[in-house]
Amino acid sequence: MLSRSPNNSLFFEPQLKLLSKEGGNVAFDLSKFSWIGSPLQEPQALFVLSSAARTIDDLRTKKVIVASTGVSADNYLMSYLLNQLVGTKMDFVTGYQGQGDIFMAMERGEAQANSAGFSNFFVSKADWVRSGFVVTPVQFGDARTSDLPDTPTAVELAPDEPSRAALTYFAQKFKAARPLMLPPDVPADRAAALRAAFDATMRDPAYIAEARRIGLDVNPLSGAEIERVLAGIFATPEPVVTRLRELIARAGK
């Protein structure tokens, strides 16, 4: 059976135990799955009310409250890692049920910032971006995207190589935001057929036109590219993994 879009933290589970924080053994081997592809990559950015802060230096000195769903969510961890590795001093309010509640919190002024996938943010709150109601002082990929060419990455802002390595490592998860996978032992010819069908769909003019019509990005990652991302994750030196694991274990404490 083809799995629908597993949590992208799954890629880190054998090393960081994001989904099994008590340290339980991971009962699966990601290298044995067949990866079909991801219909999009989902670079993340920090969106801040321009009235509260505009630059990373502002975030190092001013009190800015980040709204998030919970301490294990990306919309918490990204800003938390900025605090730990880049020197910002953001505070957090957790417990929001979803992005809509977070938007309302920012409109009410009870929170001033939110880490989110910027393609979705640009679709749902394009007026905030156009009007300058929010700014994006930092993005979280391992390289700047064409959508935010003037916004530095957290990797660029890190003060030393260990911090850059940790942020580069964690940024890999956003390259395959909605991965599709097959369980182990699926015959190779069937996996290949599904990969070919996925790749053909991603190139199909009708698919691309419909995605753009409803405001979705079309920036897929093939199954082979997902395998390369995983290989890079698994090859990350253990000191980098250990440091990040220890940081995330302290999140919310």
Per-residue pLDDT reduced to its tens digit, 162-215? 999 999 999 988 888 788 999 888 999 999 999 999 999 999 999 999 988 887
Residue 96 has pLDDT above 90, yes or no: yes
Query: What residues have CB less than 8 Å from 57, skipping those under 6 apart?
Result: none
* pLDDT average, residue stretch 81-110: 94
Question: What is the C-alpha to C-alpha distance for residues 247 and 71, in angstroms, rounded to an integer?
Answer: 12
Q: Report the pLDDT value the prediction gives residue 1, as an integer from 0 to 100.
A: 41
pLDDT-derived band of residue 2, with 50, 70 and 90 as boundaries?
very low
pLDDT-derived band of residue 31, with 50, 70 and 90 as boundaries?
confident
Q: Does the CA dihedral 49-98-217-163 come out positive or negative?
A: positive
Kindly give the pairing relationship between strand 180-182 and strand 34-38: antiparallel
CB count in 10 Å sphere of residue 132: 10
Q: Report the pLDDT value the prediction gives residue 169, as an integer from 0 to 100.
A: 93
* pLDDT average, residue stretch 86-97: 95
Q: Are 242 and 188 in contact (CB under 8 A)?
A: no
What's 32's DSSP letter?
A: G
Q: Report the pLDDT value the prediction gives residue 20, as an integer from 0 to 100.
A: 60
Q: Which class for 16: exposed (0-12), middle (13-18), buried (19 or more C-beta within 10 A)?
A: buried
Q: Which class for 238: exposed (0-12), middle (13-18), buried (19 or more C-beta within 10 A)?
A: exposed
Tokens representing 15 are: 């090393």
* pLDDT average, residue stretch 97-101: 91
Min mean pLDDT across 17-26, 52-61, 72-81, 152-161 is at 17-26
CB count in 10 Å sphere of residue 48: 27
The pTM of the full predicted model, rounded to 2 decimals, is 0.86
Question: What is the C-alpha to C-alpha distance for residues 227 and 33, in angstroms, rounded to an integer?
Answer: 10
Tokens representing 132 are: 């300058």
Question: What is the C-alpha to C-alpha distance for residues 232 and 165, in angstroms, rounded to an integer?
Answer: 12
Q: Are 55 and 137 in contact (CB under 8 A)?
A: yes
Residue 18 has pLDDT above 80, yes or no: no
Give, to the nearest 10 degrees, the angle between helix 238-249 and helix 74-86. Answer: 110
Residue 19 has pLDDT above 70, yes or no: no
Residue 5 has pLDDT above 90, yes or no: no
Min mean pLDDT across 51-55, 155-159, 172-176, 226-230 is at 172-176
Question: What is the C-alpha to C-alpha distance for residues 193 and 86, in angstroms, rounded to an integer?
Answer: 45
What's 130's DSSP letter?
A: H
pLDDT-derived band of residue 8, with 50, 70 and 90 as boundaries?
low
